[in-house]
Amino acid sequence: MKILISHLPKHDWWGHGTPIYKNNPAMKQGVVPNQELVQIEMYMLTQLFTQLPIDLVEIDFPYFLDKQNIDQRQHDFVFVRDLFVSDQNGKIIISKFSEEARQIEADIMQAMLESMGYKTIRFPEGSSATAEGGEFYLCPKDKILFSGVCRNNLKGAEWVAEEFNIDELVIIKSKAFHLDTLFTPVLNKENRLAAMIACTSLMETDSVDSIRSLAKRKNIELVEVEPEDAIGTKNELGEFAVNCQPLPGYLIGPTRFRSNKVAPLLKELKVMHITVPTTQFRLSGGAIHCLTNEL
């Protein structure tokens, strides 16, 4: 397995202050991340992935997006997760953003991937589908695709599932801007779906029923956590603990879960939970899953 990570921009990440994107309560207009912590946290994340049994692919932050012109600078490219969806077997779908300000990032990522020899595909011209990488979790061996439908729409999720020849598409409805802010699968050492961790209180009832039914059919555990382990609520931002990069036998996240049910389950499954702080990236609504993507 290959994991893609972007270097930081040369100019301060959101050094002119963050904007506000729709449905993203983490972003507060004008907040400037602590750049020293940004660098430390990204360094720790990169160093961790060099120690894991995966191939790490590091790319430079695009010059065009790092211009000093504040009106043109788009500093969320570090969240490479959002820019494409991969079947981890050679097929890469470039995201079609509902958050239009970020589409340029996906367009640049396509050019970078193709320059590295990867083949990419895009949604058909004129399609009304929308799909962003942070709305998906793919379990390739089980041929299961989890999709949110906040920034994705159903048409986009179904198109990705068809392109990837998925056996089961699990739609999870919520008001959270990306699925990875309230849900993560857990993979065992054989790269099979072994458990799910979800903030069900922030999901619509039919979606909760769907993942509970899936857990029962697959005979796996579903750990239901509180909003504090996810995106949080309107009144208090959560810790984004569920924003994890699942790897075979590992779960890489930004912080420990407050729920006392997660650690015993992961120990039983022989899945190692490793955490790397992403306090500054949380200011833009992202954590480990957002900063990484599979190739």
**What is the predicted pLDDT for the residue at 49?**
98
Return d(Cα 158, Cα 104) in angstroms, integer: 23
Tokens of 119: 């083949």
Top CATH class of 2-294 equals alpha beta
The answer for residues whose C-beta is within 8 angstroms of residue 173's C-beta and 6 or more apart is 148, 149, 150, 203, 204, 206, 207
pTM strictly above 0.75: yes
Give 96-110 pLDDT, tens digit per residue.
999 888 999 999 999
Q: Residue 25 pLDDT > 90, yes or no?
A: no
End-to-end CA distance of the chain: 7
For residue 283, give the 3-state DSSP assignment: helix
Q: Residue 216 pLDDT > 80, yes or no?
A: yes
**What is the predicted pLDDT for the residue at 188?**
98
